A and B are shown apart, each in its own frame.
Chain A
Amino acid sequence: MFHEVGGGGGGGGGGGGGGGVTDLTVRQGANQSAEEGASWLYTFIIGVVGLFVDLPPTMTSSIDESSKEKMRSVSVDLNHDASLLIDIPDALCERDKVKFTVHTKTTLSSFQKPEFSVPRQHEDFIWLHDTLVETEDYAGLIIPPAPPKPDFESPREKMHKLGEGEATMTKDEYTKMKQELEAEYLAVFKKTVQVHEVFLQRLSSHPTLSKDRNFQIFLEYDQDLSVRRKNAKEMFGGFFKNMVKSADEVLISGIKEVDDFFEQEKTFLLDYYSKIKDSTAKAEKMTRAHKNIADDYIHVSATLNSLSADDSTANKKHLEKLADLFEKLRKVEGRVASDQELKLTELLRYYMRDIQAAKDLLYRRARALADYENSNKALDKARLKSKDIPQAEEHQQHCLQKFDKLSESGKKELTSFKGRRVVAFRKNLIEMAELEIKHAKNNVTLLQGCIDQLKNN
């Protein structure tokens, strides 16, 4: 069930306690009514797959169970293994912070209970991701990309502008714009929940990573994860690490690759990454333009309503029908925008991050190769000097093993990555095309209906 727990804001909240939790304060214009001045509090409870999702009348965007499934489709075939099922059924938005309720159902004995939930913050996910990245053993794996920070900047800015422009609009118009805005908040919210959920599900469906100790702690530990605040040293370390990594990139791109497979992959991934990054940005712009058009339709509809109210001729009915039509059209347009965003923009964005993760794997392997080559040089030097030969030999063996291990697992990972990518693209492109057709057909019906009514009158 989706429901909004309002402090009176947003056109009448639903049930549920709104009491002691700190509130999401949204910057509004000066003309706040006392009611709207009360902060908003959203509680979105997202059902697991198969649960019917219901929206309160104030929420204009509709999520039905199939589109919930679709939201997950950036990575297909997750969360089907009954031995470890993870989902985020519940999330709370407090100011800038989102609190996720991570719910686990498992048949594995490594866990204390068969079913349990814990609250987690975004920073906890980042901690988990970083610890996995830093784990040597996983150097040969593609670590699922960390979920991005929840970003409510865009709807917040829009809210601010709406507040400023309130005086120029009719009450009806303002209400509709606010509804649109709420829908946008909701969409951002859903996206962030989805992306955090997928991260966990990627981990749970990976044969190696699902067994990670830190992962288990993340799922199970029912206290606050104190490490979620990286202490200054670690943060600093993190910063330097990134710096070194970029230097590595340059260094490593120059390294002679011994394996054709990896050579190809490297070329492909580097190029693909820049292209997909560009496509993501362009897709985002497209979506935004659609949203703007939907907003324009709101204004057109509202003004037509005013015109109709003033009109006493036969025109009145025409204007009413027209106003109604534009109101319906804008809803469709809004859905076109959000579907395009989910199917296309989010898909591209996700795989952009995933490709970055794949690139990271390549870099780790390349570093291992560099280490191996250095160890070879060291061994030769040792042999020359006849000093510390056994250590050098051991070191060289160690490096070779590491490199081989990385290459082997890397190859597997990259191959399955490609498969995963193709499947996800296919699913999303098909769904996007189907949705576009559905919405266009809807539009035709609405328009044709109005045209017929106008002609017959």
Chain B
Amino acid sequence: MADTARDPPPAHTDFQELEDGEDLFLEPAVIQESGPASLPAEDISANSNGPKQDSLFDDDPEDLFAEATEEVSLDSPEREVLLSDGPSPAITPITPPTSVITPRIGLAHDDMFTHSSFDEIEEEEGGDSFDMHISVSDPEKVGDGMNAYMAYKVTTKTSMSLFKTDEFSVKRRFSDFLGLHSKLASKYLHIGYIVPPAPEKSIVGMTKVKVGKEDQSSNEFVEKRRSALERYLMRTVKHPILLKDPDVLQFLESSELPRAVSTQALSSAGLLRMVNKAADAVNKMTIKMNESDAWFEEKQQHFENLDVQLRKLHASVESLVCHRKELSVNTAQFAKSAAMLGNSEDHTALSRALSQLAEVEEKIDQLHQDQANADFYLFSELLGDYVRLITAVKGVFDHRMKTWQKWQDSQLLLQKKREAEAKLQFTNKPDKLQQAKDEIKELEGKVQQGERDFEQISKTIRKEVSRFEKERVKDFKMIIIKYLESLVQTQQQLIKYWDAFLPEAKAIS
């Protein structure tokens, strides 16, 4: 399945598979022949089916200018022409703010020629100009019975020129998200990009919702899912390459989306996926790669360790959530009991104090409930997301191994064919000889391709891992701070409640 995905998506026929950085960079010469059109630069990336065009547009304008060696104006023919090539249907031309466009375009072309500056651009991303916020909201039940589903409103707010408007929303259902992920995974995973995993399916959870139980647990389930979908989309668009992917843009903007049926668990596609997964697991065990690059070995070990620790932490936090919920329930029960005790008490002042105590405890139980939610949605889900993300990272490393294996296989095959050819030389079979020579020619090409692929994926993974780690640190820091602030709030509320109770207790005479 990885192999079939290597073919360029049908929409982008004009761009060949990016085998070599130079190839793409030569193309602008060809492109210049097309007529002008007023279009945004973003379509360049929309037409790209691969990794080359990417983070350039996310960068700080100042830095881009500094890098630019060739000034390109807004009406640059190159830019216009790139757009006219097989654009994704969902994207229509928009006029971007010029200040945003010019520096980027200039840089885009220059740096397409050099890998090194490409890397520099990536490293310069401070993320300041990434201005996009996606929210998933308003879950609505559509339909009835077992065919019912939840429709979520996906609202994008952005000032990026990639989009027609500043704010727009569409309705999507869960399988749409899965479909999006599936497409992205098939396009990018095998070439080394860390594609954020989609939220998990839950047959039990969804069935409850379908059946129409409007209770606490199904509401919680929907909220949990809504939040997970939001985080998923945000992570996806934070990835500079994925953001420009036409499928992503279509997902965010297009009002109608073809139904992704192959995401159903029990479909044939689903079964195929399971079979492939099993085959992968077996293959992984049999591939023995000579790792020449210590960096990869180190990183793989690092991610293994990280995986173990994060899972452990996740388990502890889940336990924390559980106990805090328990505390909330127990506090509520105590509050009721204290209220009854207060009623029963015949000393007036003490009776009143006990009733006040009951009220305080009732408020506190709500506080604990809210804190449990913060524990869950901030801390626990963060850890859960990263556990799944690291699985994706490990998958990318596996793909590299497979790429290597493929390369090695073709090398071996070439070897064999060469030997066979040598033997044929001594026989009088000109046809066969010619055939052998042809095959060898083909295989040589394949071997070269294999080597290039391997180098490419290795390079991509290095960049991706570096980006991933930066993002991880940022993500953790931001969310942990939010979580700690939630804890602070809870404690401050506690102070308020007990402060209010204290005079009541003192008033007992």
Contacts and interface: CB of A to CB of B under 8 A. Distances in A.
Interface of A: 264, 268, 271-272, 275-276, 278-279, 282-283, 285-286, 288-290, 292-293, 296-297, 299-300, 303-304, 306-307, 310, 313-315, 318, 322, 325, 418, 421-422, 425-426, 429-430, 433-434, 436-437, 440-441, 443-444, 447-448, 450-451, 454-455
Contact of A443 (B340, B480, B491): B491
B18 interface: no
B148 interface: no
Given A289-B323, A296-B320, A440 B508 contact: no
Nearest to A322: B480
B488 A448 contact: yes
B330 A285 contact: yes
Interface string B125-140: 0000000000000000
B70 interface: no
B502 A300 contact: no
B341 A440 contact: no
A429 B342 CA distance: 13
Contacts of B505: 426, 429-430, 433
Given A289-B323, A444-B495, A454 B481 contact: yes
B498 A289 contact: no
B326 to A, nearest CB: 5
Given A282-B330, A299-B316, A318 B480 contact: yes
B344 interface: yes
A303 B312 contact: yes
A354 to B, nearest CB: 14
Interface in B476-493: 476-477, 480-481, 484-485, 487-488, 491-492
Contacts of A451: 481, 484-485, 488
A429 B357 contact: yes
B259 interface: no
14 contacts: A264-B346, A282-B333, A286-B327, A286-B331, A292-B327, A293-B323, A300-B313, A315-B476, A318-B476, A422-B349, A430-B505, A444-B495, A454-B480, A454-B481
A433 B506 CA distance: 10
Contacts of A279: 334, 337-338, 340-341
Nearest to B324: A293
B286 to A, nearest CB: 29
B477 A272 contact: no
B494 interface: yes
B344 A272 contact: yes
A281 B77 CA distance: 80
Contact of A422 (B337, B477, B508): B508
Contact of A447 (B323, B357, B491): B491
Which residue among B309, B327, B334, B498 has the maximum number of chain A CB atoms within 10 Å of its CB? Answer: B334
A285 B335 CA distance: 12
Contacts of B346: 264, 268, 418
B302 A310 contact: yes
B15 interface: no
A425 B354 CA distance: 9
B198 interface: no
Contact of B305 (A310, A437, A444): A310
B488 A275 contact: no
A318 B344 CA distance: 52
A437 B319 contact: no
B345 interface: yes
A275 B340 contact: yes
A271 B341 CA distance: 9
A454 B344 contact: no
A429 B353 contact: yes
A220 to B, nearest CB: 39
Contacts of B477: 315, 318, 454
Main secondary structure of the interface of A (DSSP, over half): helix
A272 B345 contact: yes
Nearest to B485: A451
Contacts of A443: 487-488, 491
Contact of A425 (B324, B485, B508): B508
Nearest to A345: B334
B469 interface: yes
Given A290-B327, A444-B491, A447-B488, 16 more contacts: A276-B341, A278-B341, A279-B341, A289-B323, A296-B317, A300-B313, A300-B316, A303-B313, A318-B473, A429-B505, A433-B502, A440-B498, A441-B491, A444-B495, A447-B487, A451-B488
B350 interface: yes
A311 to B, nearest CB: 9
B284 interface: no
A440 B484 CA distance: 14
A277 to B, nearest CB: 10
B327 A300 contact: no
Nearest to A310: B305
A275 B344 contact: yes
Contacts of B495: 437, 440-441, 444
B188 to A, nearest CB: 25
A322 B483 CA distance: 12
Contact of A433 (B341, B344, B501): B501
Contacts of A422: 347, 349-350, 508
Contacts of A293: 320, 323-324, 327
Nearest to A319: B476
Nearest to A170: B312
A429 B305 contact: no
A297 B334 contact: no
A314 B491 CA distance: 29
B488 A292 contact: no
B33 interface: no
B339 to A, nearest CB: 10
Contacts of A288: 330
B499 interface: yes
Contacts of A276: 341
B306 interface: yes
A265 to B, nearest CB: 9
Contact of A436 (B349, B492, B494): B494
A290 B333 CA distance: 15
Contact of B341 (A275, A313, A436): A275
Contacts of A430: 502, 505-506
A440 B494 contact: yes
A361 B340 CA distance: 24
A62 to B, nearest CB: 21
A264 B347 CA distance: 13
Interface in B162-189: none
B469 A313 contact: yes
Contacts of B316: 296, 299-300, 303
Contacts of B341: 272, 275-276, 278-279
Given A282-B333, A313-B473, A436-B494, A307 B480 contact: no
Interface in B457-489: 469, 472-473, 476-477, 480-481, 484-485, 487-488
Contact of A300 (B305, B310, B317, B501): B317
Nearest to B302: A310
Contacts of A282: 330, 333-334, 337
Contacts of A290: 327
A444 B491 CA distance: 6
Interface string B296-331: 000000100110011011001101100110110011
A296 B323 CA distance: 8
Contacts of A278: 337, 340-341
Contacts of B484: 325, 447, 450-451, 454
Contacts of B333: 282, 285
Interface in B336-392: 337-338, 340-341, 344-347, 349-350, 353-354, 357
A273 to B, nearest CB: 9
Interface in B107-122: none
Contacts of B320: 293, 296-297, 300
Contacts of A448: 488
B306 A310 contact: yes
Contacts of B305: 310
